[in-house]
Amino acid sequence: MNITIRISADELPSTHQKIINNALGLESKQDYTDALEKIAKAAFLEYCEMIIERGTPSKIDEIREARLFLLIKHFFQNRLPNETEVENLFHLGSKSRALLQNTLHHYINRLTIVQSSLLGYIKKAKLNEDTNNFELECNSPTIIQEMNNIVKQNWLTLEKITIKKGTSGIYVFAPDTFDKLKFYLNG
């Protein structure tokens, strides 16, 4: 089914379009159009779920989680957003991290992309020859926390992933932790 919507300049003035473009970090007009189509799909499916099955959640946090879940599926597609991206969409300040964490926990069984997204991060890790540890640049403590949750649930004797001293976004893995996570996430 193809659905087309038309938005007038009065409904979405160019100043608002620029704000959206900047918030989403889009570079071209095609990126902007693609992003709006994905967001519109997520919103449409939210309304369909409301009409078909469950009505509207009664708590604002549940509404936000449902919206973020649909955005993860349809806008971000095969990856988890970081806290900054969630903040750019929801404008919640420090509560963006909690929204992301709660959404992951609430929808974990419906978010098959969690494992593939975490694996994508693991694959970006590089071996530091001097320390013999793997290092990963990541600006999302929530993603690191999800990896550490997997380690804690499966291998209590392994070292958890930690922040590299003196950095704000480089994380360190012991080789055995890296190997086990990579194996686990490959399914």
Give whole-number Cα distances, 122 to 115, 176, 185, in Å.
Answer: 10, 13, 9
User: Can you tell me whether residue 133 is helix, strand or coil?
Assistant: strand
Structural tokens at position 96: 């963006």
Domain ranges of the chain: 14-111, 115-185
Rounded to two decimals, what is the model's pTM?
Answer: 0.70
Counting Cβ atoms within 10 Å, is residue 150 exposed (0-12), middle (13-18) or buried (19+)?
middle
Encode the chain (187 residues) as per-residue pLDDT tens digits. 888 888 888 898 889 988 888 888 888 888 888 999 999 998 998 888 888 876 777 788 888 998 998 899 889 886 788 888 999 999 998 899 899 988 888 887 676 777 777 888 888 899 999 999 999 998 888 888 888 988 998 888 889 999 999 888 899 999 999 999 888 888 5
CA-CA distance, 73 to 112, in Å (whole number)? 9
